[in-house]
């Protein structure tokens, strides 16, 4: 197998492991991010992460925590193909010879480039996912109190295209890029830094599973610490009504969140995101490293 095929196979399996471990946390995060600000004197639909979890289980059962997973799972091959293949090709530009280890700063650059490239796949995937996850917290532009109900990922895509054409699937592309490029720079930089620390040098080929999982988990947490407010802006834009939008763009969304809720509005759902990041990224990178090593 060539390097591209190896990265594709390894990234696909790693991404599937990440989704399975982390999607329930992501569902709660998106519900908290996208719920409307209540009118004065009224309580929000969800008082916090645990309340959102209880309501989701009560209304939809455990399946509700995996709502919206179909879209990212169906495209995990494409998304991880782009992320890990672009990263691998950028790494090859820095290597003086095949198999040479890279410096942390070089991994940061490779991560940023891969993050920028993957944004074009991540944006439509996450728009579909977010609209499925958030539908119980949002009202349609139709009868008051009626929740948006989609039949599944394909139904979401049809509604979006009918409302705003193909460009509607790329709503939120700018904040997606603003999240993915620096976020993945942090992930791959921190991951490599910790691996080299645990290995006592730049050769990390003999690291055990536990150090790899720790490095990946910490790197995943670093992603959200670096870019979480951008993710909030992205989510509210992607679940916004196409026919009667609240936000004209990323800057407008940021200003309105700050005006209505202050800084705390930019960190809605931060707890579930951080709780998700460690196990999901540990699973992703562990499966990726094991598969990549097995393929040679």
Contact 282, 213 (CB under 8 A): yes
Per-domain boundaries in the chain: 3-295
172 three-class SS: coil
Q: pLDDT tens digit string along 3-36?
A: 888 888 888 888 888 888 888 988 898 888 878 7
Strand partners, 147: 139
Check pLDDT > 50 for residue 179: yes
Q: According to DSSP H, which parts of 239-266 are helical?
A: 250-261
Strand partners, 290: none
Average pLDDT, the chain: 88
Nearest of 168, 163, 214 to residue 193 by alpha carbon: 214
Give the span between the Cα atoms of 160 and 22, in whole angstroms.
Answer: 26
Q: CATH topology for 3-295?
A: Mitochondrial carrier fold (1.50.40)
Contact 44, 32 (CB under 8 A): no
Q: pLDDT tens digit string along 104-156?
A: 999 999 999 999 999 999 999 999 988 887 776 554 433 333 345 788 888 99
Chain centre distance of CA 109: 20
Nearest of 208, 116, 270, 206 to residue 216 by alpha carbon: 208
Q: pLDDT tens digit string along 226-284?
A: 999 999 999 999 998 888 889 999 999 999 999 999 999 999 889 888 988 999 999 99
């Amino acid at each position: 197998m060539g390097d591209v095929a190896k990265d594709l196979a390894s990234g696909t399996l790693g991404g599937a492991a990440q989704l399975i471990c982390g999607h329930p946390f992501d569902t709660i995060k998106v519900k908290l991010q996208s719920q409307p600000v209540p009118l004065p004197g009224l309580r929000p639909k969800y008082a916090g992460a645990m309340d959102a979890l209880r309501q989701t289980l009560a209304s939809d059962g455990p399946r509700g925590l995996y709502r919206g997973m179909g879209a990212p799972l169906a495209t995990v091959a494409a998304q991880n193909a782009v992320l890990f293949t672009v990263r691998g090709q950028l790494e090859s530009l820095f290597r003086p010879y095949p198999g040479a280890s890279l410096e942390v700063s070089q991994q940061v650059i490779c991560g940023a480039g891969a993050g920028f490239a993957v944004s074009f796949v991540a944006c439509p995937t996450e728009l579909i996912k977010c609209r499925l996850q958030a539908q119980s917290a949002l009202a349609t532009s139709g009868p008051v109190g009626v929740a948006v109900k989609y039949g599944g990922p394909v139904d979401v895509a049809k509604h979006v295209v009918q409302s705003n054409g193909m460009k509607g699937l790329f709503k939120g592309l700018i904040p997606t890029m603003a999240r993915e490029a620096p976020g993945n720079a942090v992930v791959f930089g921190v991951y490599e830094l910790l691996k080299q620390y645990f290995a006592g040098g730049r050769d990390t080929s003999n690291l055990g599973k536990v150090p790899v999982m720790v490095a990946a988990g910490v790197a995943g947490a670093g992603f959200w610490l670096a870019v979480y407010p951008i993710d909030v802006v992205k989510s509210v834009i992607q679940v916004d009504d196409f026919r009667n939008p609240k936000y004209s763009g990323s800057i407008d969304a940021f200003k309105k969140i700050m005006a209505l809720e202050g800084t705390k509005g930019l960190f809605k759902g931060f707890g579930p995101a951080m709780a998700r990041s460690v196990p999901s990224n540990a699973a992703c990178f562990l499966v990726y490293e094991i598969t990549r090593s097995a393929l040679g």
